[in-house]
Amino acid sequence: MRKKVSYAISNTQKFKNSLLHWSQQFREAVWLEGNDHPDAYGSFDAILAVDAFTCIQSDFNNAFQELQEYQSQTKDWLFGYLAYDLKNDVEQLSSDNPDGLDFPELFFFQPKKIIRLNEGIADFIYLNMLDDEIEQDFSAISDWDFANREPIQTTENIRIRMRIFKDEYFSRVEKMLGHIHRGDIYEANFCQEFYATDTQIDPLRTYQKLNYISNAPFSVYLNLKDKYLLSASPERYLKKLGTKIISQPIKGTARRSDDITEDENLRVSLVHDKKERAENIMIVDLVRNDMSKSAKKSSVTVEELGKVYTFSQVHQMISTITARVESIKNAVEIIKETFPMGSMTGAPKISAMKIIEELESFKRGLYSGAVGYFTPEGDFDFNVVIRSILYNASKQYVSFSVGSAITAMANPEKEYEECLVKAKAMREVLED
């Protein structure tokens, strides 16, 4: 079905930049980039998929069943996303909050052209009917003339608004704490939206700025006609590699400092922070429970518990949970049985999602959903859509959202400050 031709690349960073600019001619494009982070479960440095041969788009009704049928029929590479509100297909839930972005709740496409970069080699993986275009595309990308790009009109002095203000944030966190003290939930991820209306941005340049500032291991540039995701995600939701599945939830955040000594103190403080560690352990238990629905008996293992990793903007506490599944287990079923990811919901999961819907002021949509791919063999890898800018060019609406885990030990002031730390890179990029 596909032909692969490989080329040695002398300047990988220049080639990546050219690839992204070259991708702008297509209605559909997904770019996944690891930014050279060590990843024990990584499969490549970066990958680009463009130009849909077939596709599937859906709201939440029967979405996972439709995706399962599509994936089983194509048995090919598929790239796309799952929005958070597919929770309504998994459980008897609803999403009634305002949505300024209007992204479909599920979108996947079978790309005509895939270009994968790994250790200085570019693999061009094209549908057989287009194999005669490989050499000319490689030449076009290698010799890309950046001066020829049409300028994009953008809004100066972008005015970013908050969906709820500080006092209202405090009030809603207190209500969530009330649910926790009554025993309705143990933990929930409470999020807030920042947005701008009547605003035009240059999506590619914005992504490149965000990626430069954040340098995240699960970065994404996604373009579907007039809708864009510009993501600097540090988190893997779920990966399947043969019969092994891997989840790496993040819970626990500390800011960075330009002062080396202070920065190290902040990192060490996070390592020993009882509240942050308790949050992480709660989510690990939730993820273990979710993975056990698909896993072979007694195969769920915590490989790493609450290890602190340092990124450009923040220190993060990350755990790694793995399990084994039967070889005949369907890939989409595995995702459905664990979706949405525990780090963006809470525990118990269904109760937390109901309370989140009640107290948040916006429809999450693609934020806190997942972007990734399926392979022809039925493997997959998906990130968590956080630290991301979403843009609907037709509506001239820009949005980014941030959240934090609320537990019995939560202090509303500190949770609010954590949100501002997480929002820093997106705000900086848009207001630059």
Residue closest to 404 by CA, chosen among 171, 237, 192, 216:
192
Active-site pick, 209, 251, 349, 422: 251
Active-site pick, 235, 279, 360, 415: 235
Instruction: Determine the 3-state secondary structure of 56 from DSSP.
Output: strand
Strand 244-248, strand 250-255: pairing: unpaired
Report the alpha-carbon distance of residue 372 to residue 82 in Å, rounded.
9
Residue closest to 285 by CA, chosen among 266, 305, 308, 268:
305
252: left (phi over 0), alpha (psi -120 to 50) or beta: left
Report the alpha-carbon distance of residue 129 to residue 112 in Å, rounded.
9
Confirm if 122 and 7 have CB atoms less than 8 A apart. Answer: yes
Residue closest to 398 by CA, chosen among 420, 357, 429, 373:
429
Give 257's contacts (C-beta < 8 A, 6+ positions apart): 263, 266
> Which 8-state DSSP code applies to residue 393?
T
Decide if 235 is catalytic: yes
Element containing residue 108 per DSSP (H, E):
strand 106-118
Q: How many other C-beta atoms can be found within 10 angstroms of the C-beta atom of residue 297?
A: 7
Q: How far is CA 393 from the centre of its chain?
A: 20
Report the alpha-carbon distance of residue 248 to residue 303 in Å, rounded.
10
Confirm if 271 and 253 have CB atoms less than 8 A apart. Answer: no
Decide if 251 is catalytic: yes
> Which 8-state DSSP code applies to residue 197?
S
> Which 8-state DSSP code applies to residue 120?
T
14-to-212, 217, 340, 410 alpha-carbon distances in Å: 14, 19, 36, 45
Q: Which residues are catalytic?
A: 235, 251
